[in-house]
Amino acid sequence: MAKLKQKSGLIVLVTTALLLAGCSEVSLISYGAKKYRAAGKDTAAVGPNEIDRGSPKLGNPYQVNGIWYYPKVDNAYDETGIASWYGEPFHGRRTANGAVYDMHKMTAAHKTLPLPTDVRVTNLENGRSIIVTVNDRGPFAHSRIIDLSYRSAQMLGMVQKGTAKVRVQVINGGNADQTIVAKPETPLTEKNNVAAAPQAVVVADTLAPPEGVKSAPAPKIEPLPAPTVAETQVTSASAYSSPTPTVSVEPITHSDIFIQAGAFIDFNNANILSARLSSMGPTKVSQVLVNGQDFYRVRVGPVQDIDKADQLLADLINQGHTEARIVIE
């Protein structure tokens, strides 16, 4: 009997210890979650293969470090330049359109494209190509054209180097799954109109047959054929398939880095600037047609690598050429 009491006491102690351990574990989990949220993180549930695309947003013109940026819809966007990537310090924070940044998802930041927009990014140095969702603004340093998530940079093989020469092409512009529309304006003649009276709700029911009368058999209803695949397809945010983390490889083509110091309508002005910048390296003036207007671009280069391009760009900006930028040709 004494042994039985001892065993019972032991069971109670073990059970109590387990309960206490369970409570401690729950408390620690709760504390960790609170600490994570308090640090500005967001633990909203997103599936392992899903991307938080955020809310559709174009945005007004904005200024960063004295430079103005003008967001716009550009479904024909196709640009070459330098890509960088961002990771840990921003992981879990909100992006420019309210999405939660996950460094392990295929996303990116761009200065002017609508949010979200899907783009193809090709690493011109190794031929790797991926599709990412732009859901943030940036980058704002050294004339970079796109800032990739850690996972995207990893897939393109540019994590260790930090930057790469890339081509960026819009493949799903203007928020294909959601449309940005202007707020409708109510005409002055309609602003004082009286709202229509609400309609009454009519409830219908089937009456029982009179006594002595047999009810007619219910009509046979044939089931409708199942809808086809085409009929069930919808274009909504919930049905959107996020870009998958796959890499395609394209042939590598030769590309050079240049610094574009300016673009002029007057050919003589372009020539004057080209001569003035000749001490910084080889310069050239090229003609390009933009929206029916001829422009003459002044470029310095080619430059050997990205680090030297960054230094040359900084020198040009310090000399007052604030519109200078890095281009790939």
| 230-248 confidence digits (pLDDT tens) | 333 333 343 345 677 788 8
Q: What is the pLDDT of residues 40-59, one digit of tens each?
A: 444 445 666 689 999 999 99
Indicate the range of 4-13, 29-38, 313-322 predicted with least confidence. Answer: 29-38
Higher-pLDDT residue of 232 and 74 is 74
How do beta strands 128-136 and 117-123 pair?
Answer: antiparallel
Specify the pLDDT at position 223: 45
Amino acid at 236: S
Specify the pLDDT at position 246: 82
Specify the pLDDT at position 144: 94
- What the block records as the tokens of 220 is 């046979």
Indicate the range of 179-188, 211-220, 280-289 predicted with least confidence. Answer: 179-188
Average pLDDT over residues 203-209: 51
Specify the pLDDT at position 265: 95
DSSP secondary structure, 253-279, as one string = ----EEEEEEEESSHHHHHHHHHHTGG
- 174 touches 114 (CB < 8 A): yes
What average pLDDT does the structure give for the chain?
A: 76
- Examine the pLDDT at 180 and tell me if it is beyond 90: no
- Examine the pLDDT at 262 and tell me if it is beyond 80: yes
Which of 125-139, 186-200, 229-243: highest mean pLDDT? 125-139
Chain region(s) in the chain for CATH 3.30.70.1070: 257-328
Indicate the range of 47-56, 69-78, 121-130, 193-202 predicted with least confidence. Answer: 193-202
- Examine the pLDDT at 118 and tell me if it is beyond 80: yes
What's the CATH code, domain 31-177+241-253?
2.40.40.10
Chain region(s) in the chain for CATH 2.40.40.10: 31-177+241-253
Q: Which residue has the tokens 């996303």?
A: 107
Specify the pLDDT at position 85: 97
- 265 touches 290 (CB < 8 A): no
- 131 touches 152 (CB < 8 A): no
Fold of 257-328: Alpha-Beta Plaits (3.30.70)
pTM of the model: 0.65
Specify the pLDDT at position 211: 60
